[in-house]
Amino acid sequence: MPTRPGTSARYAVPLLLAALLCPLTACGSDDDKPAPPTGVPAATESPRPGDQEVTLSWKGARRVYAVHAPPGFTRAERLPLVIALHPYPGDGASAAAISGLSAKADEENFLVAYPDGLNKAFNALICCGSQDDVGFVRTLTHRLTGTWNADPRRVYATGISNGADMAYKLAVELPDTFAAIAPVSGGYLGTDTESASYVPRTPVPVLTFLGGLDRSYAAMDAGIETWQRRLSCEPGKPARLGKKVTRTTARCGDGSEVVVYRLPGMGHSWPGGAGGGMADPEAGVDATDLMWEFFKSHIRKAS
């Protein structure tokens, strides 16, 4: 299957597999009320410190997400929530391994949720499938702000590759939900983004990391420039951080901001990273540390 203009060959195989796998899944269902598939129990969870896996039925499919809560967690305190989205192919465990967000949550006292995409992918802007992952993330966010008492004004999204693309999609399609997003090695790409109206209806600050050796760099860089143009953002002068990295900050017309780290020596990776083949400890910055500082500085205004 050919890729769309301005995109990378990294999407070609996922798109083909998604088309082949769709008949085997609950792709394309418009039913907002989940119909439990045989053998899949309703979601049950027990808010407590540590890690636990939650299974629920969503539009006829078995959906899974993991929750990590820091030591000493109780429902008495409303903690921030970070939703971390994995690459394709991957799952929540791979997002945890690459990002190191669970260790950061223990240090800084916040919750992390790691959703699994169907067939190891999310239905993001370019890849993969046609399942309602926006609705799935909306559901788990409501559960975490309810059952776990996460702070609804401090909900954030990050992800890498397919998960990063999904973070942009969530920012646009779930208004009044995210206080900020931090896509890593992903982009605001695809046919949906060709419409000038496909932008957040409520301000969503963005922090993103782009590797100059990533074969999708040109498309991702063009995508973030489109995002900034549509939101009337005014980028400042790039700041050079050592020999490897530049940082550009743009103030936008809707009150949000866009911060872009460009790393010329990095490929399709997570700068710093905790482990796995997509972590780049030599990138020159630590994305996990930087995104948490960015998230802490942004609290969603009540609508």
Quote the domain boundaries for residue 146. 48-296
Question: Is 147 part of a structural domain of the chain?
Answer: yes
Question: Is 8 part of a structural domain of the chain?
Answer: no
Answer positive or negative: Cα dihedral of 37, 172, 220, 288: negative
Q: Is the model more confident about 225 or about 18?
A: 225
Q: Is the model more confident about 303 or about 126?
A: 126
Predicted structure pTM score: 0.88
Question: Is 108 part of a structural domain of the chain?
Answer: yes
Question: Is 5 part of a structural domain of the chain?
Answer: no
DSSP SS3 for 242: coil
Which amino acid is present at 212?
A: G
Tokens, residue 74: 């109780």
Question: Quick check: 33 pLDDT over 60?
Answer: no
Q: What is the pLDDT averaged over residues 30-52? A: 62
22 secondary structure, DSSP code: G
Question: Is 114 part of a structural domain of the chain?
Answer: yes
What CATH code is carried by the domain that includes residue 118?
3.40.50.1820
184-230 pLDDT, tens digit per residue, is 999 999 999 999 999 999 999 999 999 999 999 999 999 999 999 99
Q: Is the model more confident about 30 or about 233?
A: 233
73-101 pLDDT, tens digit per residue, is 999 999 999 999 999 999 999 999 999 99
Pair 298, 180: CB distance under 8 Å: yes
For tokens 């702070």, what's the residue? 151
Question: Is 1 part of a structural domain of the chain?
Answer: no
Residue 66, strand partner residues? 53, 114
Q: How far apart are CA 295 and CA 303, in angstroms?
A: 19
pLDDT of residue 11: 44
Q: How many CB atoms lie within 10 A of CB 63?
A: 23
Pair 137, 21: CB distance under 8 Å: no
Question: Is 184 part of a structural domain of the chain?
Answer: yes
pLDDT of residue 14: 43
Which ranges of the chain would DSSP assign to H, the alpha helix? 12-21, 92-99, 101-108, 133-146, 162-173, 217-230, 287-296
33 secondary structure, DSSP code: S
Question: Is 162 part of a structural domain of the chain?
Answer: yes
pLDDT of residue 276: 83
Q: Which of 62-71, 191-200, 237-246 has the lowest mean pLDDT?
A: 237-246
Question: Quick check: 237 pLDDT over 70?
Answer: yes
What domain count does the chain have?
1
131-174 pLDDT, tens digit per residue, is 999 999 999 999 999 999 999 999 999 999 999 999 999 999 99
Q: Tell me what percent of the residues of the chain surpass a pLDDT of 70.
A: 85
User: 245 pLDDT band (50/70/90 cuts)?
Assistant: very high
Tokens, residue 231: 């939101």
Q: What are phi and psi of 158, to 5 degrees?
A: -140, 175
